[in-house]
């Protein structure tokens, strides 16, 4: 059997007075695909930094096979020492590596190499870092949250690229679909120690729950043993004092063991405060257009959000998702068309940039406003420490500055703030960023029970599948199309995933710049035949919209998929066909209207 590329044995590390890692172990062989999972703050990133050789440790051993190559992707890559992206990526190559692969990867990731580090967005910096670590094709890749700040096309491309490389892989991620598609083994870092399962992520959660259940049973056995010993001490024979003292010492040991028994991981208690019920129609958008210069962000979009809907907004970075949110919320006015918000709305938003958080303020002051040690939830005052525990924060973190919290902790803090406010419309912009798997589960459960309406922007495919009742998908050139169901349902109806976007990008690169056909043709007069066609189109569009509404009502039937999957599939296929016909009719209608106006 070949020796491992990397072997960490009995690694221990204490930060301050708190032990972070205790006898942690990690073994990676050639070509292995290992996913490292655990709670936020459990030490996953630290263990990966120890594996990369960047962080010293207190005890244990680290072995890396001589002559092997390794590349490490940190959560926050630093490009500040380089003049441009190309210089940064080339600096990661070894003496025998091929520069052509650098150019290939940068092109695939949408970068030219001339970008200045100071002007890069978070997603662009992550793409540059991915090009740097993938270009050398090393023996071992250590990736810490590689999908952070990436849009869906980039995530799906990265999946395909990692599947094709022969490198060993250790991956930290909270993206379930990404883990399911890449993992072959799991390493669970829990309370400073590691456990390994040589199966994919699909088997992990059931295995983890079984381990915790066994610990729970051991905990109860320990409690019963303590009760027996206490009974003996109260009512047993007292003459044999030496034995009494020995058993008393044993009881103290058991009690100490129970106090230190940390099997209970704690669960975030996410509960929303309901406001008054909103009107039936929450958002009514009618033929809205929005452009910035020559870039058309929204092109003739009509849709409606009803009370109780869970609408997902999906598209690549730069498509205009944030602009669309602002149009929906009335924070921005469309160039043409109208957006009407329903009555009695109480809106709570969650910003993906964490802009609402003051990095200098303590965790407790952020929750209370700095005026007391109480936080008002549902009209009732609660001590801030108790409320912090609901979101997995420890009491000793109360005075911790927000700026020192991890990304996952900041995400939980924003959730804690948002959920103290009464609402009947939740607008969540990338709510899953940096949240661990357990908190994601609870967020999904909370949204499932939420009686109001949810509008969510996300690149997390599994989250969209679990939460959304419909998806508004960017189709290019300002066109958005709504599909029933979650992300997977959208793919089934659309017939393609990111390929459409890729094809459009290729077309933009090769096609010469010219005015849109509808504008160029606007100078011609509309013929009698075209006038008749325009009149006919008005009726056809109305009929198509009515047929689509009927199909959407059928698909909205509870448990239709489980009770009658054939009917669900037929309705889904018919709806996709009507979407295509409506889109074609609307494009022709717009062309004729512009001819008429010309």
Q: Encode pLDDT of 348-397 as tens digits.
A: 887 655 556 788 888 888 888 877 788 877 667 888 888 888 777 888 88
Q: How is the chain split into domains, by residue range?
A: 6-206, 209-259, 514-598
Q: What is the pLDDT of residue 229?
A: 61
Lowest-pLDDT choice from 14-23, 216-225, 574-583: 216-225
**Cβ(436)–Cβ(39) under 8 Å?**
yes
Predicted confidence band at 230 (pLDDT cuts at 50, 70, 90)? low
Q: How confident is the model at residue 535 (pLDDT cuts 50, 70, 90)?
A: confident
- Please give the torsion angle defined by the CA atoms of residues 465, 471, 474 and 480, in that order, rounded to the nearest 10 degrees: 170
pLDDT of residue 480: 92
Pairwise CA distance, residues 52 & 364, whole Å: 35
Residue 212 has which token pair? 């915790």
Is pTM, for the whole model, over 0.85? no
Cβ-based burial of 73 (10 A; exposed 0-12, middle 13-18, buried ≥19):
buried
Q: What's the rounded Cα separation, in Å, for the pair 40 and 38?
A: 7
The pLDDT value recorded for residue 221 is: 75
E-assigned strand segments in 59-146:
59-64, 70-73, 140-144
Which of the pair, 99 or 391, is modelled with greater confidence?
99
The total of other beta-carbon atoms located within 10 Å of residue 495's CB is 10
Helix, strand, or coil (residue 136):
coil
Q: What integer pLDDT is reported at residue 523 of this predicted model?
A: 39
The residue-averaged pLDDT of 131-146 equals: 94
Kindly give the interhelix angle for 122-134 and 99-108, rounded to the nearest 10 degrees.
Answer: 150
Place of tokens 């909103």: 278
**595, 581, 587: which is closest to 528 by C-alpha?**
595
Per-residue pLDDT, 439:
76
183, 201 contact by CB (below 8 A): yes
Q: pLDDT tens-digit profile of 170-196?
A: 999 988 999 999 999 999 998 889 999
pLDDT at 501: 44
> Binding-site residues for ATP, please?
38-45, 315-322
Long-range contacts of 101-105, Cβ-Cβ distance < 8 Å, separation of 24 or more: 101/134, 101/135, 101/137, 102/131, 102/135, 105/130, 105/131, 105/134, 105/135
Confidence of residue 467 (pLDDT cuts 50, 70, 90): confident
- Asked if pLDDT for residue 149 goes beyond 90, the answer is no
First to last CA, the chain: 77
CATH class of 6-206: alpha beta
CB 475 within 8 A of CB 316: no
Specify the 3-state DSSP secondary structure of 340.
strand
pLDDT of res. 194: 94
- Residue given tokens 């699909």 in the structure block: 202
* Averaged confidence pLDDT in the chain: 80
Q: What angle do CA 21, 26, 29 make, to 5 degrees?
A: 165
- CA–chain centroid gap for 183, Å, is 18
Confidence of residue 248 (pLDDT cuts 50, 70, 90): low
Residue ranges at the known binding site: 38-45, 315-322
Q: What is the CATH number of domain 514-598?
A: 1.10.287
> Would you say residue 85 has pLDDT above 50?
yes
Q: Helices 437-449 & 407-418, crossing angle to 10 degrees?
A: 20
pLDDT digits (tens, 9 = 90+) for 159-173: 999 999 999 999 999
Query: CA–CA distance from 259 to each of 19, 232, 253 (Å)?
Result: 17, 21, 10
- CA-wise closest residue to 425 among 450, 454, 447, 467: 454
More confident position, 53 or 562: 53
More confident residue, 266 or 75: 75
Mean local confidence (pLDDT), 413-429: 82
Quick one: which of 368, 465, 359 has its CA closest to 416? 368
Length of the chain: 598
377 bridge partner residues: 380
Label residue 455 by pLDDT band (50, 70, 90): very high
Q: Which helix (H) or strand (E) holds 266?
A: none
Return the structure tokens found at 528: 């009698």
Q: pLDDT tens digits for 267-303?
A: 555 555 555 566 788 899 999 999 888 888 999 999 9
How large a percentage of the chain has pLDDT more than 90? 31
Selection from 482, 483, 472 nearest residue 312 by Cα: 472
What's the gap between Cα 353 and its chain centre? 13
pLDDT for 573 beyond 90? no
Percentage of the chain lying above the pLDDT 70 cut: 82
């Amino acid at each position: 059997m070949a020796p491992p590329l990397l072997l960490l044995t009995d690694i221990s590390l204490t930060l301050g007075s708190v032990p972070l890692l205790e006898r942690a172990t990690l073994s990676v062989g050639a070509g292995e695909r290992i996913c490292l999972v655990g709670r936020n703050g459990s030490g996953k990133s630290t263990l990966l930094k120890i594996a990369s050789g960047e962080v010293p440790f207190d005890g244990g051993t680290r072995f890396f096979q001589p002559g092997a190559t390794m590349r490490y992707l940190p959560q926050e890559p630093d490009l500040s020492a380089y003049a441009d992206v190309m210089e940064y990526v080339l600096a990661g190559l070894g003496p025998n590596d091929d520069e052509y692969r650098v150019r290939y990867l940068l092109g695939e990731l949408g970068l030219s190499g001339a970008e200045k580090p100071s002007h890069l967005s978070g997603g662009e910096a992550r793409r540059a870092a991915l090009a740097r670590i993938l270009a050398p094709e090393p023996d071992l890749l250590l990736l810490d949250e590689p999908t952070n700040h990436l849009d869906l096309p980039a995530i799906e491309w990265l999946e395909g690229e990692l599947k094709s490389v022969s490198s060993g892989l250790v991956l930290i991620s909270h993206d379930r679909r990404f883990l399911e598609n890449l993992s072959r083994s799991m390493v669970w870092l829990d309370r400073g120690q590691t456990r390994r399962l040589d199966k994919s992520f699909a088997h992990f959660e059931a295995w983890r729950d079984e381990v915790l259940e066994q610990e729970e049973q051991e905990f109860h056995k320990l409690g019963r043993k303590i009760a027996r010993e206490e009974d003996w001490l109260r009512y047993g024979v007292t003459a044999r004092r030496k034995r009494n003292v020995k058993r008393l010492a044993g009881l103290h040991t058991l009690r100490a063991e129970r106090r230190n028994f940390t099997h209970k991981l704690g669960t975030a208690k996410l509960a929303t405060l309901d406001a008054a019920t909103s009107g039936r129609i929450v958002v009514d958008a009618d033929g809205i257009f929005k452009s910035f210069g020559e870039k058309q962000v929204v092109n003739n979009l009509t849709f409606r959000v009803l009370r109780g809907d869970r609408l997902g907004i999906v598209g690549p970075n730069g498509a205009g998702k944030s602009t669309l949110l602002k149009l929906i919320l009335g924070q921005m006015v469309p160039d043409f068309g109208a957006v009407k918000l329903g009555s009695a709305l109480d809106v709570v938003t969650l910003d993906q940039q964490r802009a609402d958080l003051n990095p200098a303020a303590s965790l407790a002051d952020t929750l209370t406003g700095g005026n007391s040690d109480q936080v008002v939830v549902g009209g009732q005052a609660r001590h801030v420490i108790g409320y912090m525990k609901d979101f997995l924060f420890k009491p000793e973190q109360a005075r911790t500055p927000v700026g020192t919290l991890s990304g996952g902790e900041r995400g939980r803090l924003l959730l804690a703030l948002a959920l103290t406010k009464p609402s009947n419309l939740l607008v969540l912009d990338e709510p899953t960023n940096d949240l661990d798997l357990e908190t994601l589960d609870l967020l999904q459960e909370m949204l499932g029970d939420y009686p109001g309406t949810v509008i969510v922007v996300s690149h997390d495919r599994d989250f969209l599948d679990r939460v959304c009742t419909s998806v508004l998908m960017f189709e290019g050139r300002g066109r958005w199309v709504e599909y029933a169901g979650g992300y997977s349902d959208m793919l089934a109806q659309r017939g393609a995933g990111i390929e459409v976007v890729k094809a459009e990008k290729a077309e933009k690169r090769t096609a010469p710049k010219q005015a849109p056909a509808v504008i160029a043709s606007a100078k011609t007069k509309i013929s009698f035949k075209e006038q008749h066609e325009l009149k006919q189109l008005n009726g056809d569009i109305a009929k198509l919209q009515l047929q689509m509404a009927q199909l959407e009502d059928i698909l909205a039937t509870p448990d239709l998929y489980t009770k009658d999957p054939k009917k669900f599939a037929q309705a889904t296929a018919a709806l996709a066909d009507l979407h295509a016909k409506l889109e074609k009719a609307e494009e022709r209608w717009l062309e004729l209207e512009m001819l008429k106006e010309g």
